[in-house]
Amino acid sequence: MRKLTIDLNAVAKNLTAIRTLVGPNVKVMGVVKADAYGHGMIQVARKLEAEGIDFLGTADLNEALTLRAAGISTRILSWLHDPEDDFIAALKHNIDLAVSSNDQLYRIQKAAKSTGKTARIHIKVDTGLGRNGVTVHELEELLSNIKLAVADGVVVTSGIFSHLSSTGAIEDLAQIAKFDEALALASSHGFEFEVRHLTASDGTLSYPQAHYDMVRCGIALYGLSPFSDNRAKEFGLTPVMCAEAKVVQTKRVPAGSGVSYGYLYHTDRETTLALVPVGYAEGLPRNATGKAKVCINGTLYTIQSRIAMDQFVVDVGDASVSPGDRVVIFGDCGPSADDLADAAETINYEIVTRIGSRLNRVYLGAIEESSN
Ligand SMILES: *Cc1c(COP(=O)(O)O)cnc(C)c1O
């Protein structure tokens, strides 16, 4: 009665759009953290691998290991490490690792020695976001430690990267300049990198001068704009996810009927109420009550009464709506993930990432598990 359709062919199309934008000399990393922003990490990764993606990106090492366990052999970079991670499993499974501190470098070196593997690292530089990475100021010390590890044969420097704050052009351009400073410093120490990378989807669309050797795209691959402006189509992106349900009950009620918890809504005439089995447990934000619209039989209706855990009710007036009719929460008929995000005063990223487990996932264009 609840369905989440994930069109992996749209993921492939969005990858093509990104490749066209960045040109043939820039690699693309498909970011599949957080279950591919709720789209299904393994299914999305298999599709991207079939499309020849250069790299996959995950936040946690566990996500990267889950991909390997599913047979994904594409290069994977993981960047948000547990302070206790010993990195042995990471090296056994050929995961590229971000290095944000001397301590992480030390633990990676130890793992490399104990496994006999050479670790592929990407130096993470904090150019102004204030999250992980070393500041340009601390970079010199990290570089000298890395030099020793490289000389020891336990580490190769595959990459160097940073991440923008997306505050505005002035702040982003200052970060780009900081990144160039870090690159110059590394190069003055004799470092060369296979991939220098800075931009996520927003920077990739905004700053063609900052693509370097690779871009890291998440939200754009899922067909959504990284800006809160509902402009995905303008960028040639196709939404991947469609959330829908069926009307499970309808009833005629008189004028003056209170509807759902707290009676935020009273009918002002005799009318038909339609019950839809989707609530905040499905990721329909409770605070979108009174603002979110859904589409039933081609007509948009605002959810006026309180969104509950499992269900909501819409007043459909005298329209002919019956149990079994399709209700689009967001997707291919009117409301977009951006519209729902606006209604809930959040961003499209949060909408797609928080879809609950009770929706039945249906994949279009899925790639079968590889046999190797
Ligand atoms: C999540 C993330 C990305 C992808 O961001 P989008 O805005 O979804 O493209 C890229 N790089 C890093 C470091 C991230 O954490």
Question: pLDDT tens, 278-321?
Answer: 999 999 999 999 999 999 999 999 999 999 999 999 999 999 99
pLDDT at 368 over 90: no
Question: d(Cα 158, Cα 146) in Å, to the nearest integer?
Answer: 12
> 270, 233, 252, 331: which is closest to 14 by C-alpha?
233
Q: In what order do the strands lie in the sheet with 360-364?
A: 299-302, 293-296, 326-330, 241-246, 2-7, 360-364
Q: What 3-state DSSP class applies to 276?
A: strand
Going from the Cα of 141 to the center of ligand 1, the distance in angstroms, rounded, reads: 27
Question: d(Cα 230, Cα 234) in Å, to the nearest integer?
Answer: 9
Q: What is the pLDDT of residue 370?
A: 61
Question: d(Cα 49, Cα 250) in Å, to the nearest integer?
Answer: 45
Reported as a single tens digit per residue, the pLDDT across 236-265 is: 999 999 999 999 999 999 999 999 999 999
Catalytic residues: 33, 261
Going from the Cα of 98 to the center of ligand 1, the distance in angstroms, rounded, reads: 14
pLDDT at 73 over 60: yes
Reported as a single tens digit per residue, the pLDDT across 99-137 is: 999 999 999 999 999 999 999 999 999 999 999 999 999
Reported as a single tens digit per residue, the pLDDT across 164-212 is: 999 999 999 999 999 999 999 999 999 999 999 999 999 999 999 999 9
E strand spans, the chain: 2-7, 27-31, 55-58, 75-78, 95-99, 119-126, 134-135, 155-161, 195-197, 214-217, 241-246, 249-253, 258-259, 265-266, 271-276, 293-296, 299-302, 312-317, 326-330, 360-364
For ligand 1, is residue 200 a contact (CB within 6 Å)? yes
pLDDT at 157 over 70: yes
Question: d(Cα 48, Cα 9) in Å, to the nearest integer?
Answer: 10
For ligand 1, is residue 31 a contact (CB within 6 Å)? yes
Two structure tokens written together for 346:
């959040």
Pairing state between β 249-253 and 271-276: antiparallel
Q: What 3-state DSSP class applies to 237?
A: coil
Close Cβ partners of 154 (under 8 Å, ≥ 6 residues apart)? 109, 112, 113, 118, 119
Could you give the domains of the chain? 8-224 (3.20.20.10), 241-364 (2.40.37.10)
Going from the Cα of 349 to the center of ligand 1, the distance in angstroms, rounded, reads: 11
For ligand 1, is residue 225 a contact (CB within 6 Å)? no
Two structure tokens written together for 118:
């050479």
User: Rounded to two decimals, what is the model's pTM?
Assistant: 0.97
For ligand 1, is residue 77 a contact (CB within 6 Å)? no
* % of the chain residues with pLDDT over 70: 99
Helix axes 41-50, 8-22, angle to 10 degrees: 50
What is the mean pLDDT of the segment spanning 314-329?
Answer: 98
Going from the Cα of 41 to the center of ligand 1, the distance in angstroms, rounded, reads: 15
Q: How confident is the model at residue 371 (pLDDT cuts 50, 70, 90)?
A: low
Q: Which atom of ligand 1 sits closest to the CA of residue 202?
A: 7
